[in-house]
Amino acid sequence: MATRRRTSVDAGSPLRSHASVRWLRLLAWLSVVVPLSIYLIFGVIRYGAAQEEAVLRVDRSLRVAHEHAAKVMSASEVLHERVLLLVNSRSLADLRASEAALHEALRARTVDQPQIQSILILDAQGKTLASSRLFPFPVVDMSDGEYFRVHRDGFAGTYLSRPIVTRTSGERVLNLSVAFNDDQGRFGGVVNVAVLTSYFGGFFRDMVAGDPELTMSLFAASGEVYAQWPEMPGDGTRLSAAGPIMQSIHEGGDAARLRGVSSISGEDSYLAYRKVGSYPLFLAAGRDRSPMQQALLGELALLFLVGALPVCALFATATVALRNARIVLSTMEQLEKETETRRRAEEALLQAQKLEALGRLTGGVAHDFNNALMVISNNLFLLRRMAPDVGSKQIESMTRAVKSATNLTRQLLAFSRRQPLVTEHIVLQEKLPPLQGLIAPVLGSKVQLLVIVEPDTAPVQLDLAELELALLNLGINARDAMPSGGTLVIHACNAPADAAASSTPAMVMIEVRDTGTGIAPELLSKVFEPFFTTKAVGQGTGLGLSQVYGMCERVGGRASIASTVGEGTCVTLFIPRAADRATTAATGPAPALVALNKTVVLVEDNEEVAASVVPILESLGCRVTHVDRAVKARDLLEQGTRPDLIVSDVVMPGEMDGVSLAQHIREVWPAQRLLLMTGYAEQLDNIKRMGFDVLPKPCTPQMLHAAILRVCS
């Protein structure tokens, strides 16, 4: 036998060595061809990325400039409204007699408005009545002005003038004007707000300081330029009508991305423009393409030089390896076996670490999200109390949205194993059918989903988020087992006594049955083990069925699996029945909360959360003192303050957090009543095990009221 085995190996080795030599020779060529191909592909991808980056920088700059211009125009409109309140429905004599007061009012409105050159009021004949810059203002006939003639001829609304150089100071401005009526309801004159074009130019200069290839311009629909950067000869002239931007505007476009020759720099550029509000006013941004192309060519040249030496070394290494093929082959076979074993172990560990990292991330996000939900929920409660008949439909809609967001947070935390079990009385006839909306998108269009709940199915007591996650995991497994499509049935009913086992309480049975490929009999005993999976590496963690099994065990039930290769798989969840509970009508107003008459110290570092919780506590009849650090609450107690209750957040900056404060109070003032609040779900169980009362965020005013009654009783 030993001789035959040695003969077999000796006969096979030359064949394997010959094949290895051919592959290593091919590898020598590939060591040159593949890097060159990768280099070319990288060049194409990098060129596309550089183009996209340039376009994004143009878009980002345009958005910033557009927002700035919109705010300037909005501020000018506000000035119009305020000045119209001063001059509308007043006689000419009254206005002239009030020039000093008008001047002072106009000046006060431009003190903090650096973009405003002046505010000027003209009468019905175009003569000056008052100005924000000078008092007394000489009476000047400005009836020949463009903006005055437009309003005198009946133009309604705000008029944007072409670029104008002022007669008094020689500054370049754009005028925003609006007409007003006299005491007889007739045309009484014009209020004109002059905006400095240099203000926009300075903003453009500061914004593009770090990108010298970027150009910005503010111009009218006719093409006349108000301001641009960089400043070039021809500033104040029209943009070329043949340019890509003006052509697009003439075709009716209010915003567009373009490529063409810039009217400012004269270079081939990435361009974008956008209309400012409802005005015939546009902002444009552009970036020259040539600097980007030159920088990219330099980068690719450097990459080629750096990569040439490793490629040559790789080719030489492959050539040398041809002479040692037999030794390398035997070594590689042994190494491959060891690597495969280690890779599987490392993959399982990596998946566990990913889940842990995901849990920490979602826990932190949920804390901030829960704070935001608490602010919204509390303010909705206050709105309902202060104005019960105003916007009730909208308030109810927002309340439902807050509840939906809270449930979504719980689902995320349950998926990442960061949500402690919060069992509730669940009527499956109500809760299972809506899960089609959660599971169906995961299955895809090829898989038909049926959810059937028998009418007499008893209620259960469990965590709804855990059940949703379990059914979602089973749905994902079923989808992977039916690549060509099939049917997934979720069927809930009361379990027969023999199916639930006589030694256990009465059970409810949820069957999840698919028409997939099935599972081999020798693997069925392992499917509930953590990290066991039949899927390829990277396609499954092996934790889905273990989560299903763990959920059933935590509520006193169990899970089983049956499968036939080629026919499908059925996973059955056995969950103890819960006692029937009478449902309460959801209609009618919520019962009034009894006044607590307590003194409360609220310890909360989030000002928005505190601003919503304080009025809630006050509406419950509490006298509230708010501090933003745990050490401040400790100092109050050391100074002799003894409130009926301290309500404290858990996570706070500083040397002491909420748990440390609670432990200190327990040691020094054991009689002091304390209630902790936290949005970190994983902290709830830990704090409860320490013996402290804790309330999860977000919590409703009713939950807060009940918790205070419980703690202070």
Kindly report, residue by residue over 137-179, the tens digit of the pLDDT: 888 888 888 889 999 998 888 899 888 888 777 788 889 999 9
Return the SS3 of 156.
coil
Residues linked to residue 622 through DSSP beta bridges, in sequence order: 598
pLDDT, residue 193, reads 93
Element containing residue 16 per DSSP (H, E): helix 2-87
Distance between CA atoms of 617 and 677, rounded to whole angstroms?
14
The encoded tokens of residue 573 equal: 């969840």
Helices (H), 160-289: 197-207, 244-250
Distance between CA atoms of 543 and 347, rounded to whole angstroms?
13
Asked if 177 and 158 count as a contact pair (C-beta separation under 8 A), the reply is yes
Long-range CB contacts for residues 638-645, cutoff 8 Å, separation at least 24: 641/601, 642/669, 642/672, 643/598, 643/599, 643/600, 643/601, 644/598, 644/599, 644/600, 644/673, 644/712, 645/598, 645/599, 645/600, 645/601, 645/673, 645/674, 645/675, 645/708, 645/711, 645/712
pLDDT, residue 283, reads 92
Q: Name the residue among 645, 637, 662, 647 with its Cα closest to residue 597.
A: 645
CATH number for the domain running over 420-576: 3.30.565.10
pLDDT, residue 27, reads 74
* Residues near 86 by beta carbon (within 8 Å), at least 6 away in sequence: 102, 105
pLDDT, residue 678, reads 82
Q: Is 203 buried (19+), middle (13-18) or exposed (0-12) by CB count in 10 A?
A: buried
CA 370 to chain centre: 15
Q: 327 phi and psi, to 5 degrees?
A: -65, -45
Long-range CB contacts for residues 605-612, cutoff 8 Å, separation at least 24: 605/629, 605/649, 605/652, 605/653, 606/371, 606/649, 608/371, 608/372, 608/375, 609/371, 609/374, 609/375, 609/649, 611/375, 612/374, 612/375, 612/378, 612/379, 612/382
The encoded tokens of residue 51 equal: 């183009």
Positions in the chain whose pLDDT score sits under 70: 1-21, 232-236, 265, 321-333, 341, 344-345, 347-349, 351-364, 366-367, 387-392, 404, 407-422, 498-504, 525-526, 528-544, 547, 581-592, 680-682
pLDDT, residue 12, reads 43
Per the document, the length of the chain is 713
Task: Return the CATH fold of 338-418+592-713.
Answer: Rossmann fold (3.40.50)
pLDDT, residue 595, reads 86
pLDDT, residue 502, reads 47
The encoded tokens of residue 421 equal: 């079990």
* Residue whose tokens read 């040439």: 308
> Would 81-288 and 338-418+592-713 be classified into the same CATH topology?
no
pLDDT, residue 542, reads 42
Q: The sheet that has 447-453: what strands, in order across it?
A: 447-453, 486-494, 507-514, 568-576, 558-564
* Residue whose tokens read 């109500």: 430
pLDDT, residue 366, reads 66
Domain residue extents for the chain: 13-73+292-337, 81-288, 338-418+592-713, 420-576
Which CA distances in Å does 129 have to 67, 100, 122, 592? 33, 10, 5, 61
pLDDT, residue 483, reads 87
What single letter denotes the amino acid at residue 446?
K
Exposure string for 135-158, b = 16+ CB within 10 A, e = fewer:
eebeeeebeebebbeebbeeeeeb
pLDDT, residue 125, reads 92
Out of 3.30.390.50, 3.30.360.10, 3.30.450.20, 3.30.70.2190, the CATH code matching 81-288 is 3.30.450.20
Element containing residue 447 per DSSP (H, E): strand 447-453
Distance between CA atoms of 480 and 428, rounded to whole angstroms?
26
Asked if 649 and 656 count as a contact pair (C-beta separation under 8 A), the reply is no
pLDDT, residue 601, reads 93
The encoded tokens of residue 313 equal: 């070394």
Distance between start and end Cα atoms, the chain: 86
pTM (2 d.p.): 0.41
Q: Is the dihedral of CA 192, 197, 202, 205 positive or negative?
A: positive
Antiparallel, parallel or unpaired: β 507-514 and 460-462:
unpaired
pLDDT, residue 164, reads 84
